[in-house]
Structure 1
Amino acid sequence: MHPLDALFDWLPDCDFGVMDHGFVPHGRDYSFVVESSMGKDPGRHQVQFTHVAELSYVTAVADDVWAKSWGEAFVDYQSWLDSGEPDGYVWGTCWSLAWPGIRAIEQSAKAAAWAARLGSPMYEAEIETDRFRISLIFHSLRWAKVSDEAATVSSVVIPLSSQGR
């Protein structure tokens, strides 16, 4: 069983916000703070991937959009507004929407190679947002709810209703 299977019990696989992410201070584990307005437990959660042996980050912002978004006005939301809302990617929102989202990489050759090297089970996952794609090889997963806050994501994600079908 892939560790992400348990995460999908309460977190939707897409349309959640990545509010913060990075290596925890000791440098072994990688943490995401996610916000969801849907699923079994809406709110903000810290999701920590443990024993991260490999991580890659690549932008999901298109090259031509990067060029338009190069200036400092794009890294501060108020500065972007004060600049007349120029066309480009606004980094200053300080969060990104998970789309197509998070997925478990089953039958991962990379994870198998790391498991053989380290002598412990390893897994691969990928999370993609409007801003980035991160792939990681890790051992386990843990999470904790940090608040009921869901206002940011609920202001941009409108759940589809099954009524009237």
Structure 2
Amino acid sequence: MNVHPLTALMAEWLPDCDFAVLNHGFVTHGRDYQLIIQDCISGRPGTHRLTFTHVVRADCQTALAPSGWSTSWDDVFLDWERSKDMDGYIWGTNWSNAYPGITALNDDAEASDWGRQIGRPMYAATLETDRFKLRLIFHAVRSEKIDDDSSLIRQVIIPLKA
């Protein structure tokens, strides 16, 4: 049995929660899905690119309840400075906190079915943030450290001392 690539990455350095998702979506060619994250609690703090390869399914939906949408509908919530003292969800932070976080889904029936049809191992994972819920079915995941910047996530996450 193959080791889930996300499990391997999490064992190496990727925390399961409390990292900032700065950007996410399909890359230009449309096969792979990319996350730009910022982390301050692992042994590799900084900004990282996670690339999920050979993505056959990507589902993204809101994590906000209807009441959150109702109170945050106006475009003023796209601007941090103008909305920071208002009641509602502030979209203008331009990032979301990975909580409850990222999960490798072992023995996922749909990923197994894709794997049988393609003839290559396929895996499933979810990522839940304060803003969205994402589910991916993919073949592999690569990580690349972009830089040492973790200044954004350090404003809200205080690493616990071991």
Whole-Å Cα distance in 1 between the matches of residues 138 and 161 of structure 2? Answer: 36
5+ residue gaps in structure 2? none
Aligned length: 159
Alignment of 1:150-161 (within 5 A): 150-161=150-161
Letter in 2 for 1:18: V
Q: Do residues 19 (structure 1) and 25 (structure 2) align? A: no
Q: CA RMSD in A?
A: 1.0
1:23-74 Cα shifts (integer Å, max 9, x gaps): 0000000000010011110000000000000111111111101100000011
| Secondary structure in structure 1 of the residue aligned to 2:141 | strand
| TM-score, with structure 1 as normaliser | 0.93
- Determine the structure 2 residue equivalent to 1:6: 8
**Residue 80, structure 1, aligned to residue 83, structure 2:** yes
Runs of 4+ in 1 over 6 A off after TM superposition: none
**Secondary structure of residue in 1 paired with 2:30:** coil
Amino acid at match of 2:151: A
Report how far residue 155 of structure 1 moved. Answer: 0.7
C-alpha distance in 1, partners of 2:95/2:116?
36
Q: Give the distance between the partners of 2:100 and 2:114, measured in 1 at CA.
A: 26
TM-score, length basis structure 2: 0.95
Which residue does the alignment assign to 1:96?
Answer: 96
For 2:50 and 2:99, how far apart are their aligned partners in 1?
A: 17
Alignment of 1:16-95 (within 5 A): 16-81=19-84, 85-95=85-95
Question: Structure 2: how far apart are the matches of 1:40 and 1:105?
Answer: 24
**Gaps in structure 1 of 5+ consecutive residues:** none
Read off the aligned partner of 1:156 and give its amino acid letter.
V
